[in-house]
Chain A
């Protein structure tokens, strides 16, 4: 037998090795199966059902009635709240995402200092994120209460004027109130934790080298911290945008979409159509449109990320 032939030949594995591989594979799939069943039953199943329903008229009580593209045509041509709610939602995300990223990064940098009590501070910063959204909406509803809320009390005390915002009752201020409420939960939440992990992963020798080169704090931040954090920033940004575009609970509890549709976000529009007007087919069509918008938006972000995200371990 030539060397070449020997190299190309497949050497049969001993039987006990094959059995072990099969057992490992089965064990792997068994461990995987709860998640797999979960995603099929609770994600893919409802998605497929929703996709089917989007072409039907379905009021929960009667069987779905196939209507073709009628729901989609009505959404784009007759729905008075479709475009306004879409625009409002993007406006909200445009403000909330950058603010929460900057805020969370700032908080993470502060909490990354080796000071006494840092663990306590990290806990305190994370607490708002643990507060249920309904509880936090009720709390902020009181804080923003136009008459007896502490914020307006301070505004009146400081300015000496009785003119203070109406917050959740005022179309001009309701969105601002929801943004402030979102910031409270976002700055110290998961975003901050991920930034914190990212910061702790920046090699110290890069900072040492920068110091040798005469870099100050700001230069180190711009030339070491930010570039090394770009994967983390990108990750947080993608999740932040998706999360912000899905805004629902706070508006549902605090403002019910008002006043004067000032906080009528897209998810609220879907919910209202589905669970208040019982137009499940129409709401499914709304949801699928939103899915495609989010999909395209996320795809573009990934494409763009190649230009500015730096992965230290990446091989070109």
Chain B
């Protein structure tokens, strides 16, 4: 009889136990279920809604309650995603899918560049057959926001949020009035680039106030290039235009002149909170989205210091408004038993009431339906200002390889370098670096 346990045998035993435990931890593959929907509404149906949108506002619960009142046999479990940033939640959804635990109701937003990636990974199901079976009227959504839901000829969802991007200069009207300038028509598109340039200088007071703020994020840089008649990347999402299109180069040179050579724009660190700076009268024009005007208006406490106005950029030669129409989506996961019920729930949250409350209760910018825009105008006439860009804006161009986050990160970080007055680089060198790094992302393999 052995009188001791050898280290080797003990370690072998421990390894075997560990391997067993590891094997037990491996999640089962997602069950390959047929999308059979025969009699789906006849038996109790349980759906899971995985989302980070609207969480905490009460909107999601209200939508579930009103839906289940109409469909007593259906229960919907809300599973809030609560990453520190919106983008962090996609990692959770991919992991849930890999573990076979992703909910039936999901959202992989085109404007977060995950939509096409998720379709390619067979996570989102097309809904064309469900649309046909239901006879759904697709004209209830704005065409461009519904257009975002298509990929390779198939429809994959209904619009959730949507707006025209950074299409305006959110303006403190008090400064213009003090300077004796007539307020421009907020939807007139009649303030020229030269005038914006002039006001960036004339409203700038060293150490006290900035006339104009231009952020360095992708949302701004794209519209900056569009303002000058170009764009940042081509429509196919394969080519950076900064060096190839003189108009895009001219756009960046204008920002460089204001920010680096003339130093009348806030540098990184000069304005911690541009929204707060507007309200406090420390900034005259902030390059942002037209919907930011609504927030600005709501934040104003003293109208002798700040009054909300907007300046829409001048129309381009092609008659379009410099903007970037972008939006989100509501989707159904592939491989589910009751897709028809899930589809009805999509309609419930993307319909008029759902979409309106998505604006008013969940505080999202969801100008995706004409009837919702009308309801919002009835609520606050300032929403009329947003219509021109919605009707005549330019859709967003996404990287063809779905590497959206790399793309936006490259734009932000290298634009920071180009437009940093503290560490000025030669314009040609900075632009070349920006261009090369964006192009390098576009050249990468599909995500």
Contacts and interface: CB of A to CB of B under 8 A. Distances in A.
Given A29-B5, A258-B412, A167 B269 contact: yes
Interface in B77-133: 87-88, 91, 94-95, 97-98, 121, 123
A275 B134 CA distance: 39
Contact of B18 (A41, A62, A275): A41
B17 interface: yes
A130 interface: no
Contacts of B440: 78, 80
Interface in A236-282: 257-261, 264, 272, 275-279
A169 B268 contact: yes
Contacts of A193: none
Contacts of B414: 260
A258 B416 contact: yes
Contacts of B429: none
Contacts of A40: 14-15, 18
Interface string A151-170: 00000000000100111111
A59 B11 CA distance: 33
- Which of B3, B21, B207, B270 has most chain A Cβ within 10 Å? B3
Contacts of B18: 37, 40-41, 45
B41 interface: no
A61 B207 CA distance: 52
A162 B207 CA distance: 7
Nearest to B422: A172
Interface string A162-192: 1001111111110000000000000000000
Interface stretch (A16-24, A99-107, A308-316): A16-24
Nearest to B9: A29
A37 to B, nearest CB: 6
B423 interface: yes
Interface in B390-440: 403, 405-406, 409, 412-414, 416-417, 420, 422-423, 437, 440
Given A62-B121, A166-B268, A170-B267, A277 B95 contact: no
Given A21-B3, A258-B416, A275 B22 contact: no
Interface stretch (A141-149, A202-210, A226-234): A141-149
Contacts of B17: 37
B112 to A, nearest CB: 11
A173 B123 CA distance: 43
Nearest to A13: B3
A166 to B, nearest CB: 2
B21 A41 contact: yes
A167 B269 CA distance: 7
A171 B405 contact: no
Nearest to A173: B269
B272 interface: yes
Interface string B259-282: 000000001111111000000000
B269 A169 contact: yes
Contacts of B423: 171-172, 260
B417 A165 contact: no
B413 A258 contact: yes
Interface string A209-239: 0000000000000000000000000000000
- Which of B272, B405, B412, B437 has most chain A Cβ within 10 Å? B272
Nearest to B102: A61
B14 A171 contact: no
A165 B3 contact: no
Contacts of B413: 257-261, 264
B194 to A, nearest CB: 29
A275 B93 CA distance: 12
Which secondary structure characterizes the binding site on chain A?
loop
A148 B272 CA distance: 9
A95 interface: no
A260 B416 contact: yes
Contacts of A25: 4-5
A61 B123 contact: yes
Contacts of B22: 41, 45
Contacts of A87: none
Contacts of A279: 447
B268 A171 contact: yes
Contacts of A33: 14
Nearest to A148: B272
Nearest to A61: B121
Contacts of A170: 267-269, 422
Nearest to A37: B18
A145 B405 contact: no
Nearest to B207: A162
B437 A80 contact: yes
Interface in A1-60: 18-19, 21-22, 25-26, 29, 33, 36-37, 40-41, 45, 59-60
B269 A165 contact: yes
B3 A277 contact: no
Contact of A59 (B121, B273, B409, B422): B121
Contacts of B98: 60-61
Contacts of B270: 146, 166, 169
Given A60-B94, A171-B420, A277 B272 contact: no
Interface in A120-149: 145-148
Given A61-B123, A277-B403, 19 more contacts: A21-B3, A21-B4, A36-B11, A37-B14, A37-B17, A59-B447, A60-B95, A60-B98, A78-B440, A170-B268, A170-B269, A171-B268, A171-B417, A172-B423, A258-B412, A276-B87, A276-B91, A277-B447, A278-B94
18 contacts: A22-B3, A22-B5, A33-B14, A40-B14, A45-B22, A60-B95, A60-B98, A61-B97, A147-B272, A148-B272, A166-B269, A170-B267, A173-B269, A259-B268, A259-B420, A260-B423, A261-B417, A277-B406
Q: Sort A-B residue pairs by CB-CB distance and give the 4 closest, nearest first.
A: A166-B269, A169-B269, A260-B416, A170-B269
